[in-house]
Amino acid sequence: MRRLALKSDIGDIVEKVEQGVRLSFDDGVRLLKSSNLPVIGWMADIVRRRLNGNRTYYVVNRHINYTNVCKNRCRFCAFSKSESEPGAYTLTIEEVIEKAEVAKREVDFTELHIVGGLHPSLPFDYYLTMLSELKKRMPDVHLQAFTAVEVEHFSRISGLSVRDVLIKLRNAGLGSLPGGGAEVFSPRVRAQLCAEKLPAEGWLGVMRTAHELGIKSNATMLYHHVETPEETIDHLMRLRELQDETSGFLAFIPLSFHPKGTELEHQSKRSSGVEDLKIIAVSRLMLDNFPHIKVFWIMFGLKLAQVALSFGADDFDGTVVEEKITHSAGAETPEGLSVAEITRLISETDTVPVERDTLYNEVRH
């Protein structure tokens, strides 16, 4: 394979990867435009094994989406509703706690993943109380909550700076930020898909502040809608630059766009398996300073997620249990997996399942 790879049209990039030389913007665009998926995957696997060996991480977690009411109208979103629309819901603090407690009796999770829409009338206190009440009842559970977009919304409704919002959230029990809402940073893409949403500078600014405060986060990218290869690579380069500055990102999570039920349903198709694998691999190659690349099996599907573990991904995400956002857009994957199913799926690849906590410490039982 190595001889073929070196002779291929991307042989110069193969040499760089072997020597650990950072890839350029142009390299990234060439990789995305190349049809040489086997060589791209082979290179990404070299980097994955250099960083994480044959370990594949997973976390025992539970998702809670506290409301689907959102004042924004992102065109790619099938989850959000206005307050008066049928199907709109907002959980009370008691309901959030009950969901978490019922789930904890069933599975001893280490992480709660909490995100929701930008509710027009919930006060900032609702979010602080949610975290502090959960933390009081489950002190050992890591609360990974709120996208940068939600954090900026809290800043607006509370009149506090983003820094002060983050400090208050941390004092209430916030452990880390999940990294959603990044979409694709290009202003052209944002103007077409989510004009009301926090722009790139705002998203990166929230993350920079969080990292300065010692709050770690993930980063995401929603792909396969209207973005160009250049815009995809620009997104990755901007994340890489911030990571050089802060080292605060734990994992990068590419999210494939699911058009069903969105405004784009009639003009978009789901991404192909080839594109999904290429995005995982190119992310691994470009984001040389990100410790982990996560394949979110909810979006990839279980079989392709297994293959992605040989294309640069080293994290299989988690048990999830109840996922509403991607399933609102037609995801056909289960809403949750048991630990036994996850470890079986990982063991069927040539990698070894390792249970981690949110901060990637190995969990030993």
Minimal distance in Å, beta carbon 117 to ligand SF4? 4
Length of the chain: 365
To which residue do tokens 């289960």 refer?
334
Based on the shown chain and the rule CB under 6 A, indicate whether residue 257 belongs to the binding site for ligand SF4.
Answer: no
CA atoms within 13 A on the CB side of 216: 16
Is residue 291 helix, strand or coil?
A: coil
Please give the helix or strand (H or E) that residue 128 lies within, else none. Answer: helix 124-137
In the complex with ligand SF4, the residue whose CB is nearer, 79 or 223, is 79
* CA separation for the pair 166, 72 (Å, rounded): 22
**Class of residue 289 by CB neighbours under 10 A (exposed 0-12, middle 13-18, buried 19+):** middle
Site mask, ligand SF4, residues 24-63, x = CB under 6 A? ----------------------------------------
Question: Using the rule CB under 6 A, which residue among 65, 80, 262, 271 binds ligand SF4?
Answer: 80
**Site for ligand SF4 contains 222 (CB under 6 A):** no
Q: 288 is written with which tokens?
A: 């040389």
> In whole angstroms, what is the distance from residue 108 CA to residue 273 CA?
33
Provide the minimum distance between the beta carbon of 177 and ligand SF4 in the complex, in angstroms, as a whole number: 14
Which three-class secondary structure state does DSSP give residue 36? Answer: coil
**Cβ distance to ligand SF4 smaller for residue 145 or 277:** 145
Query: Which DSSP string corresponds to 47-108?
Result: HHHHHHTTEEEEE-EEEEE-B-B-S---TT-SS-B-TTSTT--B--HHHHHHHHHHHHHHS-
Binding test (CB under 6 A) with ligand SF4, winner from 46, 70, 97, 206: 70
Q: Which of 77, 134, 280, 309 binds ligand SF4 (CB under 6 A)?
A: 77
Give the per-residue contact string, 313-342, with ligand SF4 (x = CB under 6 A; - = no): ------------------------------
Contact 35, 56 (CB under 8 A): no
In terms of Cα–Cα distance, which of 165, 164, 133, 160 is closest to 146?
Answer: 165
- Closer residue to ligand SF4 (CB): 194 or 253: 194
Q: Give the DSSP letter of residue 271.
A: P
Report the residue number, 28 or 117, with the smaller CB distance to ligand SF4.
Answer: 117
Q: What is the DSSP string of 161-190?
A: -HHHHHHHHHHHTEEEE--TT-S---HHHH
Which one of the spans 66-74, 119-127, 264-272, 299-307 is the region binding ligand SF4 (CB under 6 A)? 66-74
Q: Choose which of 58, 66, 79, 154 interacts with ligand SF4 (CB under 6 A).
A: 79
74 near ligand SF4 (CB under 6 A):
yes
Decide: is 149 part of the binding site for ligand SF4 (CB under 6 A).
yes
Per-residue x/- track, 5-24, ligand SF4 (CB under 6 A): --------------------
> CB of residue 203 vs ligand SF4: minimum separation in angstroms?
12
Q: Is 72 in the site for ligand SF4 (CB under 6 A)?
A: yes
Amino acid identity of residue 11, one-letter, is G
Using CB under 6 A, count the residues that bind ligand SF4: 12
**Both tokens assigned to 103:** 């789930």
| Least Cβ distance, residue 149 to ligand SF4 (angstroms) | 5
| Selected binder of ligand SF4 within 118, 130, 221, 264 (CB under 6 A) | 118
Which residues bind to ligand SF4, rule: CB under 6 A? 70, 72-74, 77, 79-80, 117-118, 149, 194, 197
